[in-house]
Structure 1
Amino acid sequence: MTLIKSISGIRGTIGGPVGDNLTPIDVVKFASAYGTWIKQQLNKEHYRVVVGRDARISGEMIQDLVMNTLVGLGIHVIDLGLSTTPTVEIAVPLEHADGGIILTASHNPKQWNALKLLNRKGEFLGAAEGAKILEIAESDTMSFAQVDNLGKITRNDAYIDIHIDEVLELPLVNAKAIKAAKFKVVVDGVNSTGGIAVPLLLERLGVEPIKLFCEPTGHFPHNPEPLKEHLGDLSKKVVKENADFGIVVDPDVDRLAFVDENGNMFGEDYTLVACADYVLSKTPGNTVSNMSSTRALRDVTEKYGGHYEASAVGEVHVVELMKKNNAVIGGEGNGGVIYPESHYGRDALVGVALFLSLLAERKMSVSALRETYPNYFMSKKRIELTPELDVDAVLKAIENRYQNEQLTTIDGVKIDFDNSWVHLRKSNTEPIVRIYTEAKSQEEADGLADKFIAEIGEIAKG
């Protein structure tokens, strides 16, 4: 199976040989390295780390291993239990903690899990910090606490409610207008912690939630990546219930997508576009998304007089560029909304509240709202990695082949054509090459993706 070590954390499949998968031995090793790194940052008497998890089946086992490893290092743990990635992110500074660990493999299927690592600001580690932790993991420098100096575990089940309080206190969240609109919304929680958090937020906003797959059992009822091909049940439920729209999140609730009142996808890329439209209409400024995101965000930003810029793929890269550009909102085209007024992390709860505020104020349907945005179509395809596929060599060959086009090579290869683009890159989270394209029609986007898949195959064969 697979073990992937990257700036996105330590991610792998459960079971199998040590070093090739995310086994208990690997969990203890990397948790030890992270705890050691925490202690190297500050010379102090007591250290604190916040730990939370999504509902996947292996979560409780992995969390027990992680927490007790930290205890063995003399670090005190604040245990949030079932939680969300953005909830852990906001808990770290509120707890004055030295870091945080989220146990989730995001959109990956149930056999996967991961350790997502945070700094003391509740933000993902940068490349240099991640590299240092990997270096510690492979060294003999880890030293554990004596018996009188072991850490302690303190349970705190309040943080999803605290997170919701924080969202409701955001100045741009128009709770009054949302309550007056009397929305009815179907929520697909993919049987993880979104099934807890999203309905609670909706109820606090006076929205009627209709729950679909909201039991946090970890048995995902469909592929947990919130893409159109996985959301047939949600689309049918929205139409059957005559709901205003549908919401789907991934297992750790940092990605957000919508289905309109007719059961059609709003487009996961347009989650950020709509939230940015609302924020920019109130607080004009700059925006950032990653290179694999729709051009529509650029168009909307420029409409309000702001400047748009694209970063490499990965939340840490988006956040870094947002800070540099003083962006008022940003995120990723996979449905990840980052609103600095709340915190520097993708947050589906913030996204839901901003989207509802926009709908309530503009008094229009979700399908009508979608029609107000530039219409781009995206294709997202993949090639499974095999030992004989030299990804770096293939991408270099593509770069040479298209050297007369507008190229960006900070993260794989992106080629911007007049009315379309293609982005080819090796995934940080799965053993695949991603091929993302965007064009003025779905047929053109799919055709462009297929063209480059064929070219990659041709180059790989030599």
Structure 2
Amino acid sequence: MRISKEYDLSNLMISISGVRGKIANGFGLSEALLFAQSFTTMMNHGNVVIGRDSRPSGPYLESLLTAALLANGSSILSLGLVPTPTTKAVVKLSKARGGIMISASHNPMEWNAFKFISKEGFFFNAKENETLIDHLKRFQFSPEMIHPKGAVGFGEEYIDLHIKSVLARINLTKIKKKKFKVFVDAVGGAGSFVIPKFLRELGCAVVEHNCKPDGTFPRPPEPTPAALKSSEKAFLKSKADIGFALDPDADRLVLFTPKLGAISEELTLPLALRNILSSSKKGSKVVVNLSTSFLNEHVASLFGAKVIRSKVGEANVVEEMLAEKAVFGGEGNGGVIDPKVPSFGRDTLSGIGHILNLMAEENKTIDALVSELPSIHMEKQSFPLPKGFSLETLYEKFIKGFPKAKTSQKDGLWLSEEDRWIHIRPSNTEPIFRVIAEAKSNEDLQQTLKRVKSCVES
């Protein structure tokens, strides 16, 4: 299947998070084939790992990818329905040339995406993405082979190795003794099988909710407290000790507690971080992105650790973690990154393991642990990004609106005052720009949001 050099990619979101778009409206077979051919050219006959979430478009996009890779002489390790972190871990564990996760993460079902993975198990960095796009723009792809030698294999044993790598990071004996009852809402996505299996390895009694990957999402795919209202009722009814909600590709984690129900995704990382820092050296470094709550600075201060802020995006956090030799990292959207797990990226298995380990080691309920954190006062707002819209002009308005704030343009515009911060940036995954603000009190947050509104609407 060859397509014309005349193509339109304007409806696609191309970023550090890969390429994504709406099926048949930007990310159809023709566009997907372009990226498949470009990726195949970069793989240069090497072994490639493919995983996907439960979207109905996933199987035919995997078939397209498989055809492009086989035609180029590559062999494929097909994982089927697995979390994104599992695909990343298997790339590293199998010593593959690279991998692709087929998933649009928290986007609605009409979207899908390719997330490109390098041989180290990391998402493509900026340079690798530039190479990918360069092949595409020049329409310079490796030719199909008449007699390719590649084959398709399946890698269940590697999925088990990912689970074992997380088990090695926690006190399995102590967790098993607790016999936790755990509720899991996998939104019918990629974590529907792996997460319950992992929890049973921990000796937990598992209550499965939305764990049938039938190609539909029974609730909004982004696991925010607002999207989890019906799941919250099921959790409370289950009388479980703790609950976990995932996004469709299972790299983001949100908690349920018996007293509070679904809680902010911003609480996931500081709880996991507390578990890691309790056994880390003083002066250890932690990396979070610019849009992540300063709850992490609070936890780090308890153990004499230092928090470094990176650009938004898993690949950017990982790059900074490598540069700083950080012991832990993540993002405030529920993404936990443990560098000693081969996924070395946002990993729900890792997040679940560290939080259950914290409960077991400290012999505390999840509600008790949450109560020891300061209250969070944060607002996340999104606005459409019309064509021709000038972000630079918007940034100027914010700088004038917050004249006493320290500024950084490492990633969009970040404004920091003593008791608050504001981050304005275009999304990597949707045609919008985001404004996120956090303050130390609700009163201060509301005053800040009034000033934000004035800057956006003026």
Q: Same-fold call, TM > 0.5?
A: yes
Amino acid at match of 1:33: S
Amino acid at match of 2:191: G
- Relative distance call for 1:201 and 1:227 in structure 2 (3 A) is same
In 1, Cα distance between equivalents of 2:450 and 2:59: 41
Amino acid at match of 1:50: V
C-alpha displacement of 1:99: 0.5
Q: 2:239 aligns with which of 237, 242, 262?
A: 242
Partner residue, 1:407 = 407
Counterparts of 1:49-448 in structure 2 under 5 Å? 49-149=48-148, 151-170=150-169, 173-284=170-281, 285-343=284-342, 344-442=344-442, 444-445=444-445, 448=448
Moved more, 138-147 or 399-408: 399-408
In 2, Cα distance between equivalents of 1:453 and 1:426: 17
Q: Superposition RMSD on alpha carbons, in Å?
A: 1.6
> Retained in 1: the 8 A contact 2:394–2:455?
no
C-alpha displacement of 1:263: 4.2
C-alpha displacement of 1:374: 2.5
Partner residue, 2:3 = none
In 2, Cα distance between equivalents of 1:335 and 1:415: 23
> Retained in 1: the 8 A contact 2:93–2:158?
no
Q: 2:37 aligns with which of 8, 27, 32?
A: 32
C-alpha displacement of 1:347: 0.5
- Relative distance call for 1:263 and 1:217 in structure 2 (3 A) is farther
Deviations 1:193-212 (A, max 9, x none): 21211111111111111111
In 2, Cα distance between equivalents of 1:450 and 1:112: 34
In 1, Cα distance between equivalents of 2:401 and 2:277: 39
In 1, Cα distance between equivalents of 2:216 and 2:395: 37
Instruction: Give the gaps of 5 or more residues in structure 1.
Output: 40-45
Partner residue, 1:43 = none
In 2, Cα distance between equivalents of 1:330 and 1:279: 10
Deviations 1:111-139 (A, max 9, x none): 11100001110101111110111111111
C-alpha displacement of 1:95: 1.3
Deviations 1:200-250 (A, max 9, x none): 111111111111100012311111111110011222122212111210011
> Retained in 2: the 8 A contact 1:74–1:144?
no
Deviations 1:410-438 (A, max 9, x none): 00111112211111110011101111111
Partner residue, 2:4 = none
- Relative distance call for 1:188 and 1:53 in structure 2 (3 A) is same
Q: TM-score, normalised by structure 1?
A: 0.93
Deviations 1:118-163 (A, max 9, x none): 1110101111110111111111321223211253222223433332
> Retained in 2: the 8 A contact 1:435–1:449?
no
> Retained in 2: the 8 A contact 1:266–1:367?
no
Between 1 and 2, higher relative CO (CA 8 Å, sep ≥ 6) is seen in: 2
Identity of aligned residues (%): 35
> Retained in 1: the 8 A contact 2:416–2:422?
yes
Instruction: Give the gaps of 5 or more residues in structure 2.
Output: 1-9
Corresponding residue SS for 2:122: coil
Amino acid at match of 2:181: K
Partner residue, 1:15 = 24
Partner residue, 2:13 = 4
Corresponding residue SS for 2:47: strand
Q: TM-score, normalised by structure 2?
A: 0.94
In 2, Cα distance between equivalents of 1:329 and 1:398: 32
- Relative distance call for 1:209 and 1:394 in structure 2 (3 A) is same
In 2, Cα distance between equivalents of 1:338 and 1:227: 19
